[in-house]
Chain A
Amino acid sequence: MQNEIIFAILALLTIVSSIVMISAHRPIDSALAFIVALICIAALFGLVNATFMFVVQIIIYAGAILSLILFIIMFLNIKDENLPDEKNKNWWLLGTSFIVAPFGLILIDLIIRSDITINRVPAEGFGNIKDVGLTLFSKWVLPFELVSILLLVALVGAVTLAKRES
């Protein structure tokens, strides 16, 4: 029961902050709202005993990526006249919502109607760093290596992109 209440609060907080994120005028507001959403999602991970994921989410997303975004926003020194003039922003949001709504509603309807829960009892130490690490380096070695190459490529790409203009 306690878990359900925490889940409800966290879910509400996530949704609200996400909506704030997509509707805020200035990017700095969006970024701050997004941090809230990310931390809430990290807490939701913790709620299902995914402790390692909880840590990763906070360190990489809320820590690294979001601070990078904030750094860029500050670095570019964006003034109000640089921001796009979005007069019809709210109408756009409303209209798109109407288009997307059926998609979400149908999916939710399907989830509610179907019985997808297995409720297997997890073993001791599920979701901690040892469990995830063992899985990662036994079953998922190849994707792991591929991702390392991808990161290298992205690094080189980012450097060349930024460098060419100067």
Chain B
Amino acid sequence: MLQEYMILSIILFCIGVVGLISRRNIIVIYMSIELLLNAVNLSLVAISADMADASAQVMSIIIIAIAASEAALFMSLFVVLFKKKSSLDANIFDMLGSKR
């Protein structure tokens, strides 16, 4: 059972990466990040079941907690950015770069 779970986890992770890179909508980007975390959680739980040890489940609980705090920050960011530019386009928010 573990191998199948791992393969599924890998597939979900790859889908998350594809979404993260190719989409410009910041809400979708956020959800892609959550998908990455979920893929990891899935593999952790599978390993926990295989080893009959609850520690890996505790790890994924902590990951969920971190995902929750991340969600709070992302939501307030959405609000601020949308108020500022009235757009959800990630390409607009490129103040990090050296514009010429």
Instruction: Give the interface size bracket for B toward A.
Output: 35 or more
Shortest beta-carbon distance, A107 to chain B, in Å?
A: 5
* Contact digits for A1-41, partner B, Cβ 8 Å, 1 yes 0 no: 00100010001001100110110100100110010011001
Residues in A neighbouring B90, C-beta threshold 8 A = 84
| Chain A stretch 21-80: residues in CB contact (< 8 A) with chain B | 21-22, 24, 27, 30-31, 34, 37-38, 41, 44-45, 48-50, 52-53, 56-57, 60-61, 64-65, 68-69, 72-73, 75-76, 78
Given A34-B31, A34-B34: 18 more A-B contacts, CB < 8 Å:
A37-B12, A41-B38, A50-B57, A53-B41, A53-B60, A61-B38, A61-B64, A64-B71, A68-B71, A72-B78, A76-B79, A82-B87, A89-B24, A92-B21, A119-B50, A136-B61, A157-B73, A159-B76
Question: Which B residues contact A (CB, under 8 angstroms)?
Answer: 1-8, 10-19, 21-25, 27-28, 30-32, 34-35, 38, 41-42, 45-46, 48-52, 54-55, 57-58, 60-62, 64-73, 75-80, 82-84, 86-91
Of the A-B pairs whose beta carbons lie under 8 Å apart in the complex, a sample of 20, sorted by A's number, is A11-B4, A37-B38, A41-B42, A45-B45, A50-B48, A56-B61, A69-B31, A82-B87, A83-B25, A89-B23, A93-B22, A108-B7, A119-B50, A126-B49, A127-B54, A132-B61, A151-B69, A154-B69, A161-B76, A161-B77
Interfacial residues, chain A to chain B (CB-CB below 8 A): 3, 7, 11, 14-15, 18-19, 21-22, 24, 27, 30-31, 34, 37-38, 41, 44-45, 48-50, 52-53, 56-57, 60-61, 64-65, 68-69, 72-73, 75-76, 78, 82-86, 89, 92-93, 95-97, 100-101, 103-104, 107-108, 111-112, 116-123, 126-127, 131-132, 134-136, 139-140, 143-144, 147, 150-151, 153-155, 157-159, 161-162, 164-165
